[in-house]
Copies of this chain bind each other. A is one copy, B any other.
Amino acid sequence: MPLVEELGEREIIEILFKCLEGMPDSPVPLGDDASAVDLGRGKLAVIKSDMLVGKTDVPPGMSLWQAARKAVVMNISDLAAKGVKPIAILASIGIPRGLTKEDIEQIGKGLNDGAREYGAYVLGGDTNEASDLVISCVAFGLCEKRQFIRRSGAKPGNFVAVTGLFGKTVAGLKILFKEVSAPPEMETSLVNAVLTPHARLKEGLALAKTQVVTASIDSSDGLAWSLYEISRASHVGFIIDALPIAQEVKAFAEARNLDPTDLALYGGEEYELVVTVKPRLWKRAEEALKKIGTPLTKIGIATKEPDLLLKIKEKTIPIEARGWEHFKMPVL
């Protein structure tokens, strides 16, 4: 009988899903970034639950305030990708012995600040003793049924686009784990990307309003993995021909002899949006984000063939379906 460490997270999820009876008429399939209940009158109640575990999700150098804030932000990021505004956060906390009263205050403030930053409130939760720090958050929001963006709507010919620039968090994690040191002028930016992530909430809401986005996901498991998830749910492939890599990642990669493309593709803990857009209506999506000051960058196109391909100059290479995966795949 295989052990969980041989299975990896994706296979564990598949095993769990097979045990679950689906809700009839569920507005969102199992395995999308958030779950939903139909409230009638064209409204959905949307719920997301995601757990932060000290051992695997809190790198050295991350404070408890930052960890608690991140536990909230990673849930809000999933709502953002679905085009849903968060209203309420709940937090169930597993607390290891040895933490102090001040540590608890840092956790409480991190939860509150993470929620308030996005207009939500922490409404409740639960505390427990645990061997390792565990902060399991729930994000709850409401949306119009027709504005909820699934993973499964991408069509061949759709443009695929992203917010932001990639690669900073992997570089930041390498620095925090002291695997590689960074030239001092770029260290702060790379490390902060890991310690203080931001959810693309206003971008997700603006894109949902346009109704020209056919599929959406956040890049929390890495860009390559996000593309793979959309491709699997939508039965399309992707040809990526422009990777928006952060300037400091290019410099860091050059200084440390790393491949910047790898840093940008196979990262994780990065909370950008990865979306597909109807090509005829691309301008509408681009302009919606321009209005709020965020560039939406077209990085490629969806294809009928299910492959994930990267075109650099004249070369075409496969993008591997891997990224941050608990159990199997330590990020470093």
Name the prevailing secondary structure of the A interface residues.
mixed
**B123 contacts A47, C-beta separation under 8 Å:** yes
Report how far A136 CA is from B128 CA in the complex, Å: 11
Of B1, B48, B101, B134, the residue contacting A51 (CB under 8 A) is B134
Report how far A44 CA is from B238 CA in the complex, Å: 42
Beta-carbon contacts under 8 Å, A1-50 to B: 1-5, 7, 9, 12-13, 15-23, 26, 28, 30-32, 34-37, 39, 45, 47-50
* Oligomer copy total: 2
Measured as residues with beta carbon below 8 angstroms from the partner, the interface class of chain A is: 35 or more
**A128 contacts B32, C-beta separation under 8 Å:** no
**A21 contacts B116, C-beta separation under 8 Å:** yes
Known: A97-B4, A123-B35, A124-B49. A16 touches B138 (CB 8 A): no
Tell me whether A142 is interfacial, beta carbon within 8 Å.
Answer: yes
Tell me whether A149 is interfacial, beta carbon within 8 Å.
Answer: no
Tell me whether A121 is interfacial, beta carbon within 8 Å.
Answer: yes
Of B30, B49, B100, B142, the residue contacting A49 (CB under 8 A) is B49
Q: A49-B126, A92-B136 are in contact. List 4 more A-B contacts (CB 8 A).
A: A16-B104, A18-B105, A47-B138, A136-B136
